[in-house]
Amino acid sequence: MIIAVDGPTASGKGTIAKAIAAHFQLPYLDTGLLYRAVGKQVWLNDGDPDNAKDALVATQFPDSLFDNPDLRNEETGGLASRVSIHPEVRSALYERQREFAMQEGGAVLDGRDIGTIIVPEADVKLFITASVEERARRRWLEMQDRELEITLVAIEQDIVARDARDINRKDAPLRAAEDALVMDTTSFDKDQAIEAAIEAVQSQLDR
């Protein structure tokens, strides 16, 4: 059973995908982390994230980079969004994601193009959204918890910029697959969103 969970930044798709994986006892891959690792590696190489060649070189990052706590910060998220525009980067990361998805027993993957490009044949596709204001609020609370200093306005601006880049890029833009179930979690708290998503997956499987 392969479950694709896509959606914009800070929509809660990661939390939902992880909970689905735990509930259905499936391995889970956060594909954003791959793009974040490339973004961080470009920075470590003193490269330019907007340059396709520099970004492609950075796809050779060592796996130890996954342990770097910087990977989850806003700055790396911005770098990830920039390197993810290059088709060369997307194809360099394709096989790794595809292999993970096709492992025996299935998997849960979250990202931007899982249901459209990486695994169009996924058994269940969810597209998680929430308003920009709500996504900014959630991200801000998360940053507060981690004692990172950033204003709500700065986060909101960053989310708008990243949405624009993710939606408007030519290669594999962020969009819901035609057969995806779109879930707007703006008015849900975390537990409600998880419960609704698990129910949605179960009902898709029962059909």
Closest CA to 86 of 117, 59, 109: 59
Rounded to 10 degrees, what is the CA torsion of 75, 81, 85, 88? Answer: 70
Q: Which residue in the set 127, 162, 197, 201 belongs to the binding site for ligand DC (CB under 6 A)?
A: 162
For ligand DC, which is the closer residue by CB, 26 or 109?
A: 109
Tokens standing for residue 119: 């695994």
Distance CA 207, CA 204 (A): 5
Identify the three-state secondary structure at position 75.
helix
Q: Nearest distance from residue 196's CB to ligand DC, in Å?
A: 20
x/- letters, 69..108, toward ligand DC (CB under 6 A): --------x--xx--x------------------------
Answer yes or no whether residue 112 interacts with ligand DC by CB under 6 A: yes
For ligand DC, which is the closer residue by CB, 27 or 202?
A: 27
Q: Is the Cα dihedral 19, 158, 34, 172 positive or negative?
A: positive
Answer yes or no whether residue 136 interacts with ligand DC by CB under 6 A: no
Q: Which residue in the set 74, 113, 134, 158 belongs to the binding site for ligand DC (CB under 6 A)?
A: 113
Q: Which residue in the set 12, 28, 31, 130 belongs to the binding site for ligand DC (CB under 6 A)?
A: 31
Q: Nearest distance from residue 31's CB to ligand DC, in Å?
A: 4
For ligand DC, which is the closer residue by CB, 33 or 206?
A: 33
Q: Nearest distance from residue 92's CB to ligand DC, in Å?
A: 12
Tokens standing for residue 114: 């899982």
Kindly give, in sequence order, each residue whose CB lies less than 8 Å from that of residue 107, ignoring residues fewer than 6 positions away: 2, 3, 21, 26, 27, 28, 29, 100, 101
Q: Residue count of the chain, please give it.
A: 207
Q: Measured in whole angstroms, how far is the alpha carbon of residue 143 from the centre of its chain?
A: 18
Q: Which residues bind ligand DC (CB under 6 A)?
A: 9, 31-32, 35-36, 77, 80-81, 84, 111-113, 162, 166
